[in-house]
Amino acid sequence: MMVAEHKILLDSCVLANFAVCDLFLRLAEKPRLILPRWSKKILIEVRRTHTEKLGWTDSIADSFQNALQDNFPEAEVQDYDNLIPVMQNHEKDRHVLAAAVRDQIDTIITFNLKDFKPVHLEHWRVIAIHPQDYLITLLELNKGVVFARLTDIAINRKQDLETTVIDFGKSLPKFANALLEDIG
């Protein structure tokens, strides 16, 4: 069984999407395929999205934040503010790239690829990749772990695996199609 512990920075848009976040965090359980990272500013954006856009109550949003911090205490990147002014990507996401550079993370997982153009990342040897593309890569590297985590999600939702995969198709259509091909 191939196990990888590749550090990835999860952007707020990934953490705010509960289903996608759930899968990524489960892939960080042993045997780990990833080591998730984020910053306090990213978590603030996630909380704002949960409460202002998705209508979560403060207590549910706080519970989610506490669960992230309790279960992944090593995930928070700190001391990167001095790098923000030299970042050239989209202004609102410069703190994300700065956090990646500070923690020597070469992969940012984001739905907002337009804010992370390769020309702004290459100097730092960082890439931004869509969650579904990264998940497809993980699937190719270790189908067993990915399917085990998806099965855990299906059991938690009281669904069969195929229904869970179809649900993922709403946010991650290419990934869901790859999974459905493997299911047969």
Residue 29 lies in a domain: yes
Least reliable range by pLDDT among 2-11, 62-71, 73-82, 144-153: 2-11
Confidence of residue 5 (pLDDT cuts 50, 70, 90): confident
Least reliable range by pLDDT among 28-32, 109-113, 170-174: 28-32
- What is the pTM (predicted TM-score) of this model? 0.94
Residue 77 lies in a domain: yes
Average pLDDT (80-108) is 97
The pLDDT of residue 1 is 40
Dihedral angle over CA of 74, 80, 84, 87, nearest 10: -70
Q: Is the pLDDT of residue 6 over 80?
A: yes
CB 41 within 8 A of CB 95: yes
Confidence of residue 4 (pLDDT cuts 50, 70, 90): low
Confidence of residue 3 (pLDDT cuts 50, 70, 90): very low
Which CATH number is 41's domain given?
3.40.50
Pick from 110, 179, 173: nearest CA to 139: 179
Residue 166 lies in a domain: no
The pLDDT of residue 2 is 43
The pLDDT of residue 15 is 98
87: Cβ–Cβ under 8 A, 6 or more apart, which residues? Answer: 94, 97, 98, 101, 120
Count of residues making up the chain? 184
Domain residues for the domain of 99 are 6-134
- Round to whole Å and give the CA distance between 34 and 25: 8
pLDDT digits (tens, 9 = 90+) for 100-120: 999 999 999 999 999 999 999
Residue 99 lies in a domain: yes
Counting the structural domains of the chain, the total is: 1
pLDDT averaged over every residue in the chain: 95
Residue 24 lies in a domain: yes
